[in-house]
Structure 1
């Protein structure tokens, strides 16, 4: 999203992916999903088996491979009909959404906001052991997904001798290249009867867990950094960039890349450092330059608006009034310009 002359935009919450369905078509309430379909969702109760339960069961073809400490399950939905899914077990669940597009639906992992995201091709989700995972969807395309069930208590995952098992938090619809690549390699071993396949799958499972732990630690370290805002060197780099491109529409992604942070973490850290979001800071600097230019009577209000990056005088006037309480003409008059 560009940091343009719209004062009503929020670069952090521009998407409605994790917000409630505004039409109220379907809501999880007290263990049931009510709405157009109005049936109880089995995923809200602990399932009888420690794999993801899908209802109706005959809507999908499933193939499960058991490698001891880790299991892999390929699931292919065969009809574009509404179905539900649920999971809760004493082991972790990693989901590789290879093909996921829905006309309607929602997904929830306990501890996170529910998501009504419509397209989640090539996305990952992680459900920690004991957490509830449930949802429903009316697929737009035939869903293809792989589930990985991980038992970190198994001796195969004695990753840190003498220490407690690492904690991995819930994640919904994220992407990490290393995790994704390893997950696809492991998926390819489902149904493989070649000698040595089990040993290879176990090795991939260890790699997969290491990648998940690495990702969790990186996220935790970033969160600790954000509580103190941006370091001085990042502040300097970002502010210099904004000043050099003051009249342009600067994307939040460009600023985040300068700081080496994700969009979400950068926006939070910037606000922590400067007290306002990036788009507000950018606009304030534009208005500050406009104030200086209004001291020169030779320039018209329209010319000044163009020089500070506004294509229309009306948008310049609205933004200027929001920041100063005066129109550019009134400000010039009060300053004796």
Structure 2
């Protein structure tokens, strides 16, 4: 699902004169995110080939499905729209909503690796206006991130997988998640450390790292934290900051070059992230060591 042209729900909204796209991006691993504003609109979805998980970020109190006019939306309501479904919507007033579009291939992979089930036996259940504070909180965290910043790719893809995993576990009745113990084997940890160190400049995704260990993203994230003491995205950021400090102390490279070498798309984003992590800008850090 690399092209937005293939995502029917996205294209339906994008063709509406009432809907406005705030941002969209591929988060890797067969997942695309979009953030929309819409008002006084009507939308019909006819058998899309992808799954859609949505959250009402704001408004939506007069939004309803034509087949259920008595059931209205509200902020933080969650909707699950499986591939192949049919639905018609009326949007009265204003609404701001976030979408995750999930490829059937990624859904099938999660059936196998997360649930150990045959994908043909798993049919995602349609659900409208769910109250799920955990999912709503994840969506709010996701929209605060810069989806197009390579330096945040692991964090955005991790949140996307948390949303997908929670949706699937909830459907099969595992609302508290799977019970896991133990971490990664020593040889797996060594391979991961080496891979991360040699790819700090790349926009790594959670699925990419999990695949190296032959694990689902859900299992990998929890076993990684058990092994390293940090979630994968925090570990990656720490290693990027370590490289940045080394380059600032020992080279005269421009800040833009250091940003690229540490996985950031721009010097400004690198500078802001470095200051948040280290308490000083890259310029101030370099000057302190020069003096």
Pair member with larger Rg: 1
TM-score range, shorter chain: 0.3 to 0.5
TM-score normalised to the size of structure 2?
0.46
TM-score normalised to the size of structure 1?
0.40
Higher relative contact order (CA 8 A, sep 6+): 1
